[in-house]
A and B are shown apart, each in its own frame.
Chain A
Amino acid sequence: METVEVKGLVKAFDGHLRARRGRSERVLALDGVDLAAEPGEYLVLLGPSGCGKTTLLRTIAGLEQPTEGEVLIGGHVVNGLPPRVRQIAMVFQSYALYPHKTVLDNIVFPLRAEGMERAEREKKAAWAAELLEITPLLRRKPRQLSGGERQRVALARALVRDPAVFLLDEPLSNLDAKMRATARDELKRFQERVGTTTIYVTHDQAEAMGLGDRIAVLEHGRVRQVGTPQEVYDDPADTFVATFIGSPPMNLVKRDDRLVGFRPEHLLPAENVTSERVTMPLRVERMEYLSGDRHVYGTVTGIGEETRVIARLPATVATPLAAGETHEFAVPADRFRFFDAAEGVRTAAVPIGGAS
């Protein structure tokens, strides 16, 4: 039995121009989403801004009512139920700590709403504070805390509810780059310790790859692919996932009615590829040195239409290259992915000329 499941979820928002142009201006934030999170799983919803991932999270939480479809928590349909009976806990992007309450009062607020005894709720708050190492901060007000401390308070407030599922809405986006790495690690360790199903929304693929047991990639209100980080990276379901995940993105070369895709790190000077390979001449246009790697921008010919591609050469590849030269590059044959040029979806492999 899945902890959280959504079936055929559609959410329409009325556009701003409703009054003037009639009902046709509706915007579909969710366009038929089916997704399930297994018990104890860390599921990440990843997508560009406006893809509907936050709407999906809010619909699960009960803050938005779906236009169509069902939300199931613990196997029960919870449509129409308010957030408080859904047994969920949510951490907002802003953390939404009550600024006029102390940290302790923030943490016990959900328990007081449940009508828990004073002694019991204090005990529970102490337990959560202990777990998140914020015991010394209990008497402070939120504005006296750093970003990372606020995040931990928000987690503690979510934790004391014993939720069936944690919903996290880009909790790291308000932290500076340095804090983010530590906070990410803390989040992961926290979830491993608590073991509660977690749904995590982000637009940052590094966060998604690092945290998620599985990643659901969304675009325009649809789920494009669900899979482990490795699956979505190595076996993207369509060109959107292929180009959204990975930096630099996957190279796509048009060949007849197909797109031939390969990751920049698999495009290497031919002499460095020893396995079964496909070679192609690459005219180097420009190079960047990024933390030891060489990013080579150039144009390939021979495997399809002439296309600009990027090759990422690790520091161990020392082949001398210069702008303006043409060099023989190669990709291991098993690293190619094929997509339908019109639909963008994965298709079966086709033989490519130039194999050697």
Chain B
Amino acid sequence: MTTTAPAGKPVGKVPADEMERLRRRYGRRHVAARCGVYGAAVTAALLCALPFLWSVISAFKQNQDLYNPESNPFFFNMPATPDHVTFLFTDTPFLTFVVNTLIVGAAVVAITLALALPAAYSLARLDRPWGTPMGIAIFMVYLVPPSLLFLSLTRVVVALHLENTLWSMIVVYPTITVPVSVWLLIGFLKAVPKDVEEQAMVDGYSRLGAFLRAVMPLVFPGIVAVVVFSFTLTSSEFVYALAFVSSSPEMVISTGVPTQLIRGDVFFWQSLQASAVITAVPIAFLFNLFLDRFVTGFTMGAVKT
């Protein structure tokens, strides 16, 4: 070799005690790195979830405990009470909101799949020259926000006599979910090897038959991911729900809770906190189950389109 290696580096040319020192140093570093990872993870989890912890504690507090500026918000200074949580279910329309949210969510998910699945297949597999630009165009629709459209859509909803009904949301929400779902599904479809449907076609199925019988079962996990994703988007939507529906029995959680559980200046604080936690936990749980799929879906859609 023409050049010598810089000092301090080569393992082969150091005395044994130096090696021992090195090993101890990297051992310590390794431990420090692990501690760092756990420290960072705990910090991140706390920053994100601390408000929910507060919510849970507040939800079970007695009024005198909660409405006392001096009492510790992290502890029950007086015995906990489930009264306010029961109140949420018995004396407020919260359950109606939950049912409405589920109805709207289910209907929107069904419409989304019916529209997005064939569209995604068409764009991902049928190789038309306009496939890629069309895919990007549909994706761009996702970027047209509710705040730009809610005024005119409100007029459309009124013209269709859908105002103050769940239908108004069922009809309009797929504008939000379809573009993202198409994007995600394209990713999942492209991950299915072409051979599979070509084999099905050679075995006597039509192109459509191959899609339904050979490809669909393989993208089923992707479909489940899209269902969860669409449902999450639907349940969070606020602007349309606020603009279209103003009568309590037809409201969904996201508008019902902030508008109906706040009467003038009277807040049912404990019940509000309980409703937030009750809604948040199942959705986050579902979402977490499918997180890896979204992540792969996102990348595949982005890289392969």
Contacts and interface: CB of A to CB of B under 8 A. Distances in A.
A and B touch in the complex (CB under 8 A): yes
Interface of A: 3, 73-82, 85-87, 114-116, 120, 123-124, 127, 161-162, 164, 194
Interface string B139-166: 0000000000000000000000000000
Interface stretch (B19-27, B96-104, B195-203): B19-27
Contacts of A81: 11, 22-23, 26
Contacts of B26: 80-82, 85
B6 A164 contact: no
Given A87-B5, A164-B10, 17 more contacts: A3-B12, A74-B10, A74-B12, A75-B12, A76-B12, A78-B11, A78-B19, A80-B27, A80-B30, A81-B22, A81-B23, A82-B26, A85-B22, A123-B3, A161-B5, A162-B1, A164-B11
A80 B11 contact: no
Nearest to A86: B11
A65 to B, nearest CB: 10
A76 B3 contact: no
A114 B6 CA distance: 8
Given A87-B10, A164-B11, A77 B19 contact: yes
B40 to A, nearest CB: 20
Interface string B1-40: 1111110011111101001001100110010000000000
A265 to B, nearest CB: 39
Enumerate the 3 nearest inter-chain pairs by beta-carbon distance, A residue then B residue, closest first: A74-B12, A162-B5, A87-B11
Contacts of B12: 3, 73-76, 87, 164
Contacts of B9: 85, 87, 114
Contacts of A116: 6
Given A76-B19, A77-B19, A80-B26, A162 B3 contact: yes
A85 B25 CA distance: 12
Interface residues of B, number: 19
A76 B30 contact: no
Contacts of B6: 114-116
B100 to A, nearest CB: 38
Nearest to B27: A80
B11 A127 contact: no
A86 to B, nearest CB: 6
Contacts of A162: 1, 3-5, 10
A127 B2 contact: yes
Nearest to B24: A80
Contacts of B2: 127
B14 to A, nearest CB: 7
Interface string B244-267: 000000000000000000000000
A74 B11 contact: yes
A116 B171 CA distance: 64
A82 to B, nearest CB: 6
A76 B11 contact: yes
Contacts of A124: 3
8 contacts: A74-B12, A76-B12, A87-B10, A114-B6, A124-B3, A162-B4, A162-B5, A194-B1
A44 to B, nearest CB: 22
B4 A85 contact: no
Best-buried of A75, A76, A114, A124 by chain B (most CB within 10 Å): A76
A76 B17 CA distance: 10
B204 to A, nearest CB: 35
Contacts of A77: 19, 23
Contacts of A87: 5, 9-12
Contacts of A82: 26
Contact of A85 (B11, B13, B16, B27): B11
Nearest to B16: A76
A3 B22 CA distance: 19
A81 B12 CA distance: 13
A78 B12 CA distance: 10
A3 B10 CA distance: 12
Contacts of B14: 76
Contacts of A164: 10-12
Nearest to B11: A87
Contact of B3 (A75, A115, A127): A127
A80 B3 contact: no
A123 B3 CA distance: 10
Contacts of A79: 23
A233 to B, nearest CB: 33
A136 B53 CA distance: 62
Nearest to B2: A127
Contacts of B10: 74, 87, 162, 164
Nearest to A84: B9
B13 A74 contact: yes
A337 to B, nearest CB: 40
Best-buried of B1, B3, B12, B26 by chain A (most CB within 10 Å): B12
Contacts of B5: 87, 161-162
